[in-house]
Amino acid sequence: MAPPLSVGSISLRLYPHEGLGAGAVVEELRAQGRLASESGFDGVMTSEHHGGFAGYMPNPLQAAGWLLEAMPAGWAAACPLLLTLRPPALVAEEVAWLAARFPGRVGLGMAAGSLVADFDIMGLTKQNLTERFSDGLALVAGALGGRDPGPLQGDPAIENCRSHPVPLASAAMSVAAVRRAARLEMGIVFDSLSAPERVRVLVDAYRQAGGAGACTLIRRVWVGSPPVHEMAQQVDVYRGYAGAGAQSHWTADELIAGDDAETVADGLVEVMVRAGADACNLRVHAPGISPGQVRTQIVALTAVVARLRVLLGQARHRKGRPPL
């Protein structure tokens, strides 16, 4: 399997389902993570919002630990974890110790956050958000990347990162963001709605700045007839709180669906080539979609993942790295 957040990696996003009790949510996430591993995915990702925000966890790093315990193989990454809601040094410590428990199976993607309610719940504001995020990224990247433990020098798990760095990525929506990620030797992750042409601009800027990590594209996928209503509702939720800058690069619908695995895999590769991405993270969940539907899709995606690996391998052979 491809390492966490690496070039060529194929991963799945996992989300909690509404209408289940807390214990059942945890067990369903674990079951889906195990099924994803058995279906050929390299790893899984969890993401963050607070206050019962539909479809999200407040504790993506803790959830990654639950998943790793349940998965027979593969990696898990909190991606994105909202770094500005926590002390960066605490994030570095917790991730380093999780990586000590699961060597080679932990990754971390970070974002600044945009939903005002998340900050209100934590008693914080978005004041100086960019500066706070940039400073936090530098601390976490230095500690987990094994280059500069800073104030965490002496922590055994942080010291372990010198020889076993934790793979890192930053959510990126601007040229400044991808240049910062390149400087900090991190990969980058793009949202599920950004147009491929916009992603290509950012990938090119990242490579020109010396970025050597994976450029991961998130895409919603579905084998068969997709639940268009539920997915459209989720897109409307994102539009309700995303900034105008992000939305200016969104398209109406980036869903990749088809009647069979071949169609879906071919569609994914076509988009990745246009975007210049070299790793992908797939999503099938939206509020209103049942656990049974998600499990059925994970199994259906087994053939998509297998074909995608072949196609990305062919692209790597032609261009030197997939799928450029």
What are 129-163's pLDDT values in tens digits? 999 999 999 999 999 999 999 999 999 999 999 99
Asked whether the whole model's pTM tops 0.85, one would answer yes
Judge whether 84 lies within some domain. Answer: yes
Mean pLDDT of 87-99: 98
Structure tokens at 66: 């639950």
Mean pLDDT of 172-180: 96
pLDDT given at position 222: 95
Judge whether 204 lies within some domain. Answer: yes
Alpha-helical regions (H) of the chain:
22-38, 60-70, 88-101, 116-121, 129-144, 156-160, 175-183, 196-208, 228-241, 244-247, 261-275, 291-319
pLDDT at 5 over 90: yes
Residue scoring higher pLDDT (24 or 320): 24
Mean pLDDT of 31-41: 98
Domain count, the chain: 1
Cα distance between residue 53 and residue 186, in whole Å: 28
Q: Give the residue among 64, 140, 149, 60 at the shortest CA–CA distance from 99.
A: 64
Contact 167, 5 (CB under 8 A): yes
Question: Average pLDDT, whole number, for the chain?
Answer: 92
Judge whether 3 lies within some domain. Answer: no
Angle between helices 261-275 and 291-319 (to 10 degrees): 50
pLDDT given at position 138: 98
- Domain of residue 81 covers 10-319
Q: Identify the weakest region by mean pLDDT among 88-92, 241-245, 278-282, 286-290.
A: 241-245
How crowded is the C-beta side of 175, counted as CA atoms within 13 Å?
Answer: 5
Judge whether 324 lies within some domain. Answer: no
pLDDT at 22 over 70: yes
pLDDT at 174 over 80: yes
Cα distance between residue 9 and residue 278, in whole Å: 8
Mean pLDDT of 251-266: 89
Judge whether 273 lies within some domain. Answer: yes
Q: What's phi and psi for 124, nearest 5 deg?
A: -120, 170
What are 112-122's pLDDT values in tens digits? 998 999 999 99
Q: How many CB atoms lie within 10 A of CB 210?
A: 10
Judge whether 269 lies within some domain. Answer: yes
What are 190-217's pLDDT values in tens digits? 988 889 999 999 999 999 999 999 999 9
Residue scoring higher pLDDT (321 or 58): 58
Structure tokens at 258: 């088809």
pLDDT at 244 over 70: no
Split at pLDDT 50, 70, 90, the class of 322 is: very low
Share of the chain above pLDDT 70, in %: 90
Q: Domain containing 21 — which CATH number?
A: 3.20.20.30
Mean pLDDT of 267-272: 95
pLDDT at 61 over 90: yes
pLDDT given at position 118: 96
Mean pLDDT of 16-38: 96
pLDDT given at position 324: 45
Structure tokens at 168: 């890192």
pLDDT at 240 over 90: no
DSSP lists the bridge partners of residue 219 as 282
Judge whether 219 lies within some domain. Answer: yes
Helix (H, G, I), strand (E, B) or coil at 205: helix
pLDDT given at position 248: 53
pLDDT given at position 230: 79
